[in-house]
Copies of this chain bind each other. A is one copy, B any other.
């Protein structure tokens, strides 16, 4: 989902009454970022509070490439990483993930081995359908075991766009919350639905309800679902005791537009890029009685802050044996403070850009290669800024491209290299970069090796369902990451 997909963020159809209401009752973050313009690294960062370059969710197979846990990827979340649910357990929390995990699908990466107590969802995206010979369909798990596969047992009609998955995920959320409330046990619910990801789907009752086509139908269903979850908390009388945060893992995928792609509002380009459209996210915090209603924050925030903030609100300390990139936003949420901090925009293991205050310095620019672009893959459709949305990897290390995101949120007008404003801002940002790089210890890259043999051929539980498939011989290769 993109920054511009909610009514509260200026989507012209304004079809998200529940999320808009949540913003009106809570705090709207206008400058909130993901840690990567792609799903897996972004989610790994959220759950570890650490940049993908630290937690291993990147590739070194190519320069500045986005990578994720495709089915044949061998790696996943390292055991050495401490995930938010692992830490929350110490404070008695029951942790559940509903939806897409995306931190590795091999047994050692299973979410219940990394702090979650319950799972209903899938390890990968709902790509498919596959033929079960070349490639298995993605499994859907309940806790330790697979209970079926997408397209086979959990239907997605690619022709009509109909699938009831969001409803299943919603019901699971409501049930979990009810159970926790009944047993008076604290809980962490990671509601990681995979709508609005392409292939886009929505439940029957939402199909055709949006002005925006199928993508808009999916947004409406998400909006409705979030509304139901929030109302459920209120009905159960635990809303003043439950911190709720809504955000997205990367900007809208413009390659799927117009019927399957969302909106990044006035920002440049989309998913896969380190322009604002790829990494600035819609974000809403809600906690009645604690976060004042109608707040709007310009705090530079990150999905990694959800790690630190959640720990803080649970009365826990973050681990002290490693670098944590997340900030504790509770002073922002509860006292309206503004914390000074930069935002680092990575693509793979390359620091592409840095934002400090309203200035953003690009050290590398790239949308995608001419070769990919020639195949019709366009991360910036209808947009073209000379020297910025480049199709070759352009280095600006010694003379960064600098934008003022207040005057120029669309990153169209680089500041003059000789202006006083440029010199001062770049000097400041260069200092932050030096500091950042000096202490950076990259993790072991997890997304370099691919092997057909590690795909979801025979997930645990497949025997009971008669759904085990025969894996091919192991043949590890370097993964290919074109973007």
- By Cβ-Cβ distance, the 9 closest A-B pairs, closest first, are A10-B10, A211-B406, A382-B412, A213-B407, A258-B408, A258-B407, A258-B413, A382-B385, A384-B384
- Whether A382 pairs with B268 at a CB distance below 8 angstroms is yes
> From A264, which residue of chain B is reached at the shortest CB distance?
B266
> From A20, which residue of chain B is reached at the shortest CB distance?
B296
- Whether A382 pairs with B381 at a CB distance below 8 angstroms is no
Q: Is A335 an interface residue (CB 8 A)?
A: no
Min CB distance, A19 to chain B, in Å?
Answer: 14
> From A296, which residue of chain B is reached at the shortest CB distance?
B14
Q: Is A404 an interface residue (CB 8 A)?
A: yes
Give the residues in chain B near A13, CB-CB below 8 Å: 30, 298, 406, 409
20 further interface pairs, Cβ-Cβ under 8 Å (given A3-B12, A10-B11, A211-B407): A4-B266, A9-B10, A10-B10, A11-B266, A12-B30, A13-B30, A13-B298, A13-B409, A14-B28, A14-B296, A213-B406, A257-B412, A257-B413, A263-B266, A266-B266, A381-B412, A382-B384, A382-B385, A383-B383, A383-B384
Q: Is A180 an interface residue (CB 8 A)?
A: no
CA distance A259 to B416 in the complex (A): 13
CA distance A259 to B259 in the complex (A): 35
The 22 listed contacts between A and B (C-beta, < 8 Å) are A3-B12, A4-B10, A4-B266, A9-B10, A10-B10, A10-B11, A10-B265, A12-B409, A13-B298, A14-B30, A14-B296, A211-B298, A211-B358, A211-B406, A211-B407, A215-B407, A216-B407, A258-B407, A258-B408, A263-B409, A265-B266, A268-B382
* B-contact 0/1 string along A232-270, CB 8 Å cutoff: 000000000000000000000000011100010111100
Interface set, chain A 1-44, CB cutoff 8 A to B: 3-4, 7, 9-14, 28, 30-31
CA distance A213 to B415 in the complex (A): 13
CA distance A368 to B359 in the complex (A): 32
Give the residues in chain B near A265, CB-CB below 8 Å: 10, 12, 265-266
Known contacts A4-B10, A413-B257; A406/B210 CB under 8 A: yes
Q: Is A410 an interface residue (CB 8 A)?
A: yes
Min CB distance, A149 to chain B, in Å?
Answer: 31
Q: Is A212 an interface residue (CB 8 A)?
A: yes
- Whether A406 pairs with B266 at a CB distance below 8 angstroms is no
> From A411, which residue of chain B is reached at the shortest CB distance?
B382
Give the residues in chain B near A11, CB-CB below 8 Å: 10, 266
CA distance A358 to B15 in the complex (A): 15
CA distance A19 to B28 in the complex (A): 17
> From A384, which residue of chain B is reached at the shortest CB distance?
B384
Interface set, chain A 314-332, CB cutoff 8 A to B: none
Q: Which of B3, B216, B381 contacts A406 (CB 8 A)?
A: B216
CA distance A211 to B216 in the complex (A): 31
- Whether B266 pairs with A12 at a CB distance below 8 angstroms is yes
- Whether A407 pairs with B14 at a CB distance below 8 angstroms is no
Copies of this chain in its oligomeric complex? 2
* B-contact 0/1 string along A344-374, CB 8 Å cutoff: 0000000000000010000000000000000
Give the residues in chain B near A9, CB-CB below 8 Å: 10
> From A260, which residue of chain B is reached at the shortest CB distance?
B407
Give the residues in chain B near A413, CB-CB below 8 Å: 257-258
Interface set, chain A 85-118, CB cutoff 8 A to B: none
> From A31, which residue of chain B is reached at the shortest CB distance?
B12
Give the residues in chain B near A382, CB-CB below 8 Å: 268, 383-385, 410, 412
Give the residues in chain B near A3, CB-CB below 8 Å: 12
CA distance A268 to B30 in the complex (A): 22
Min CB distance, A29 to chain B, in Å?
Answer: 11
- Whether B406 pairs with A212 at a CB distance below 8 angstroms is yes
Min CB distance, A220 to chain B, in Å?
Answer: 12
> From A381, which residue of chain B is reached at the shortest CB distance?
B412
Min CB distance, A459 to chain B, in Å?
Answer: 37
Give the residues in chain B near A263, CB-CB below 8 Å: 266, 409
Known contacts A10-B266, A11-B10, A383-B383; A404/B258 CB under 8 A: yes
* B-contact 0/1 string along A46-58, CB 8 Å cutoff: 0000000000000
Give the residues in chain B near A257, CB-CB below 8 Å: 408, 412-413
Q: Which of A12, A13, A385, A406 has the most chain B CB atoms closer than 10 A to its own CB? A: A12
* B-contact 0/1 string along A191-219, CB 8 Å cutoff: 00000000000000000001111011000
- Whether A407 pairs with B259 at a CB distance below 8 angstroms is yes
> From A357, which residue of chain B is reached at the shortest CB distance?
B211
CA distance A216 to B407 in the complex (A): 8
